[in-house]
Amino acid sequence: MSPELLFQPMHKQLSSLLKGEVSAEELTRNYLDRISHYDTKLNAFMTVFYDSALQAAKVADQKRLSGEPLGALHGIPFGLKDIIEVEGQTTTWGSYALNNRTSAETATVVERLNGQGAIILGKTQSVEFALGGWGTNEFYGTPWNPWDLETHRIPGGSSSGSGVAVAAGLCAAALGSDTGGSVRLPSAFCGITGLKPTFGRVSNYGVMPLSTSLDTIGPMARCVEDVALIYDVIRGPDSKHPPTLQPPLDNPITHLRKGISGMRLAVLPDEEREVLSSVVNDAYDHSLSLIKDLGAEIVIRGLPHPFEAYRNMSSVIISAEGYSCTADLVDQSDLPIGSAVRNRMLHGKSYSVKQYLDALHQMDLWRAEFAAEMSDIDALITPTTTDCAIPTDEVDEQIIPAHFTRATNVLGLCALAIPSAHSTNGLPLSVCIHGHPFREAHTLRIGWALEQALDECSRIPPGLDSV
């Protein structure tokens, strides 16, 4: 099989599968071959389900040949972040301390993927306890950003393995989780597309938690249409996760290609751009120029408060809730837990009940404030990161790379990261579309239009185009 097919957008693979031009077993076997060939270096997968994946692919082919109704993702091979439960399989929360832990249940999102014919290839790497934006993992090793095979660069986190696996052509798509940027950061650094749905849009049942107030499962794939198709499958009410029972329904596909002419899109004022590297700043200007060309109105308007304010407040909520979830582990000093992650988690132990409740109250006030001040705006456009991927030996674990992303979670928004450009040495850059709560369809529509103009999502990392 040509490697080009394995790097095709998922929706094109679906078309080839439906026409019988390729079988699910062929597609799955070729991805598994690539994992065997490349993942010793890339370290994207924690566990690979060789036998069960091939068996599921054979069943998918039998259904197609027999004329049975096919699911929306029929025959598409997926990776799952190693915090998402699959009954009978290992799920470690990215922690070596849980290296032998076996899942007793299957997450709702996995049941929905399986119900629509997806093939689960295995579990992808996660930052320990899903707490970290660089993508590092002290005990399991940090996945290798596939855009530089000479220098070990950060993949972004915490859905590090999912970002690397999709970018390197080890799977067609993957699921990650996003508490403060953990879908969007690896999507940005690895040059793929990632959607952070609004909290309550996608069920968290069967997902190992970091923050019960902010965690969201999101799709990661090669283009906007792909993440829209996956989102359409995994979204919706689940009685096992009550926050999903209230949100209004949406259809992410119907208006995807309707364009953005006449929309009003907010962009950063100059003072919020001072943190950007020159290459990110130039790429951001290029994206804004294309947005104008597409007929949207550019409105210079930042958030009601600096991004740092949202980031700092989110740290209280994430640390307090994260410590509540992991205290039985991080309080045991003899367990093999990464020092940086342990220290971040233990911050949560220092917050009082008053500080935590005050932060939740402030979050509610800021959400109401955003709704009022941005009511005449369709979305806010920012870079996803302030720079491209740095070498792993330059990482400062005291710094959080989620400058623009954490505000989205605090404000209860949805957001979409798409490739926007690349540096002179080929490293991906990304732009982020922050949409109003439960306006995923609208946000995806903006992203699709901009993606067509940018024409960056078809790039393949050099050196990974064989096998």
Instruction: Look at strands 379-383 and 173-178 and give their pairing.
Output: unpaired
Out of 95, 103, 158, 314, which one is annotated catalytic? Answer: 158
**DSSP string computed for 378-437:** SEEEEESSSS-PPBGGG--TTS-S-TTTHHHHHTT-EEEEEEEEE-TT--EEEEEEEEPT
The pair of three-digit structure tokens given for residue 312, joined into one six-digit string: 């700092």
Out of 23, 81, 160, 287, which one is annotated catalytic? Answer: 81
Rounded CA separation 180/167 (Å): 21
Number of alpha carbons in the 13 Å side-chain half-sphere of residue 430? 33
Rounded CA separation 78/166 (Å): 9
DSSP SS3 for 58: helix
310: Cβ contacts below 8 Å, ≥ 6 apart: 303, 366, 406, 407, 410, 411
Sequence-distant contacts of 288-294: CB under 8 A, at least 24 apart: 288/381, 290/450, 290/453, 290/454, 291/260, 291/265, 291/381, 291/450, 293/453, 294/259, 294/260, 294/261, 294/449, 294/450, 294/453
- For residue 182, indicate whether it is catalytic: yes
- For residue 23, indicate whether it is catalytic: no
Out of 103, 159, 162, 182, which one is annotated catalytic? Answer: 182
- For residue 339, indicate whether it is catalytic: no
The pair of three-digit structure tokens given for residue 79, joined into one six-digit string: 């990776």
Active-site positions?
81, 158, 182
